[in-house]
A = this chain, B = another copy of it.
Amino acid sequence: MLSTTDHAEPLGRREQNKVDTRHAIADAAFDLARSVGPGAITVDQIAGRAGVSRRTFFNYFRSAEDALTVRTDTFLELALEVFGQMPQDEPLFDSIVRSFSETTRMEGLSLHGELFRMADTNPDLLRAQLHAWERAETRIVGALRRRLGAAASDLYLSALVGCVLSCTKAAMRDWAASTPEAGDDSGKQLEARILASLTMLRDGFADPVAIDDGPPAGS
């Protein structure tokens, strides 16, 4: 199981406090959004539950919705990190598919689905999520540029990355919509969808690819 907290760097008191506070705020925001709905939360509530002042909240996040995108950010950050560890001589698409597949094994995946569903009913949260994907796009373009060198044009790179992320997003959307209840193997189901959408992308969308959800339930 991939963990988001296994960077074994010795943090000073200062750094650690900041990480903890950030975590506390993000958790408080998510809990509140779950209980009263993402549209009804206020910064005061989040700050109160996280045990910090309203002012401190704004030292960490620009808005209540931003505190809810932490999970999305770490997911995408993790995917980028995993991508960086792929062998350079592997075909590009294989690296990409494997990066996201690995990443779907991260902890707390079902909460991501919940977040996706929340965004369906709240414009501001949706915007924050879209922005998170956009930020990731920029970072990934940079990483790809380092891998591919100057051979690839800006247009090629940003179109490619945009498409890859669009496919992943579509996979997550479809997964979130079709698995409202988190099952044991929801990770597998997401993985299958990501594989399917990225395969369609590689084939230029000539044909739809069926989703292989693994062995039927009960076998």
Contact = CB atoms under 8 A, between A and B. Distances in A.
A164 to B, nearest CB: 9
- State which size class the interface on A falls in: 35 or more
Q: Do most interface residues of chain A lie in helix, strand or loop, or is the interface mixed?
A: helix
A154 interface: yes
Copies of this chain present in the complex amount to 2
A130 to B, nearest CB: 4
B155 A205 contact: no
A46 B158 CA distance: 34
A67 to B, nearest CB: 15
Given A151-B208, A162-B163, A162-B166, 18 more contacts: A62-B123, A123-B131, A126-B131, A127-B131, A155-B170, A155-B197, A156-B209, A158-B173, A159-B197, A160-B205, A162-B167, A163-B167, A163-B205, A166-B166, A201-B204, A201-B205, A203-B204, A204-B204
Interface of A: 62, 93, 123, 126-128, 130-131, 134, 151-156, 158-160, 162-163, 165-167, 169-171, 173-174, 177, 193, 196-197, 200-205, 208-211
